[in-house]
């Protein structure tokens, strides 16, 4: 039993080792996307399109190249999924060892991530041993990128599908806790190697050193 109907997890840095996708994923995806759009970019333009964010510099670079920004962004996102999944299949990133304890938990589990939906679904289906439902990542569109946390958009999607607001969201950044609170639910901050000395803001309801400690706190 638990005081929550569901525990929702961020993926990167919480379930999957590494705080973010590898930067090379976006750089390789940028080169492939530019080629697919018939562009002839400079090395500097390749690097700009290979940055994580959709921003004014991305848009201005697209204008220099004569390509529609949203079209290039969506192409880059599709290729980023392909390269990220290839690298995951090669073992470049693995689940944290303590994720295995979730398999025997009585908790209802879900995932909401800023990572792309196809990549998140692959991790849930192929790399994690526990069952998660729903599994939600960002859409490949510009609007999908803008809806990432700390916006609560994707958390609201999960809560609507689960038909509950009695949930806990587990993340590794202050933005995760902010998203949880903006969605009207509690937040848990899990400490991994990349964030062990961070004091998250806003203050989470739980601050734990691993998934074992989390389960002890919420399972009854």
pTM for this structure? 0.95
Spell out a b/e string for 14-48, using b for 16 or more CB atoms within 10 Å of the CB, else e: bbbbeeebeeebbbbbbbbbbeebebebeeebeeb
- Residue 212, number of CB atoms within 10 A of its CB: 11
Same domain? For 97 and 200 the reply is yes
Could you give the number of structural domains in the chain?
2
Same domain? For 121 and 165 the reply is yes
Same domain? For 56 and 127 the reply is no
| pLDDT (0 to 100) of residue 29 | 97
Is 1 among the domain residues?
Answer: no
Phi and psi at residue 4, to the nearest 5° = -115, 145
Rounded-to-integer distance, Cα 41 and Cα 123, Å? 33
Which of these three, 55, 89, 123, is where a domain ends?
Answer: 89
Which domain range does residue 81 map to?
A: 23-89
Mean pLDDT (the chain, rounded): 96
The stretch 189-215 carries a mean pLDDT of: 96
Bridge partners (DSSP) of residue 172 are none
User: Which residue stretches of 14-122 are H helix?
Assistant: 23-36, 43-49, 56-65, 69-89, 117-122
pLDDT digits (tens, 9 = 90+) for 143-155: 999 999 999 999 9
pLDDT digits (tens, 9 = 90+) for 31-67: 999 999 999 999 999 999 999 999 999 999 999 999 9
Pick from 125, 95, 131: which is nearest to 110 by CA? 131
Rounded-to-integer distance, Cα 84 and Cα 100, Å? 22
pLDDT digits (tens, 9 = 90+) for 68-110: 999 999 999 999 999 999 999 999 899 999 999 999 999 999 9
């Amino acid at each position: 039993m638990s005081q929550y109907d569901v525990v929702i997890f961020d993926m990167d840095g919480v379930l999957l080792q590494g705080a973010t996708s590898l930067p090379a994923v976006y750089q390789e995806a940028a080169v492939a996307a530019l080629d697919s759009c018939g562009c002839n970019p400079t090395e500097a333009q390749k690097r700009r399109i290979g940055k994580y964010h959709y921003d004014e510099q991305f848009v201005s670079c697209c204008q220099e190249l004569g390509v529609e920004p949203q079209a290039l962004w969506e192409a880059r996102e599709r290729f980023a999924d392909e390269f990220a999944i290839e690298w995951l299949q090669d073992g470049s990133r693995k689940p944290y060892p303590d994720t295995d304890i979730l398999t025997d938990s009585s908790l209802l589990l879900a995932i909401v991530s800023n990572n792309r939906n196809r990549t998140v679904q692959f991790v849930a289906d192929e790399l994690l041993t526990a069952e998660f439902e729903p599994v939600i990542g960002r859409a490949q569109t510009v609007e999908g990128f803008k809806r990432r946390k700390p916006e609560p958009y994707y958390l609201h999607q999960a809560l609507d599908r689960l038909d509950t607001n009695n949930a806990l969201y587990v993340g590794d950044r202050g933005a995760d806790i902010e998203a949880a609170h903006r969605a009207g639910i509690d937040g848990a901050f899990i400490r991994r190697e990349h964030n062990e000395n961070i004091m998250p803001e806003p203050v989470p309801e739980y601050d734990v050193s691993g998934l074992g400690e989390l389960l002890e706190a919420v399972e009854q």
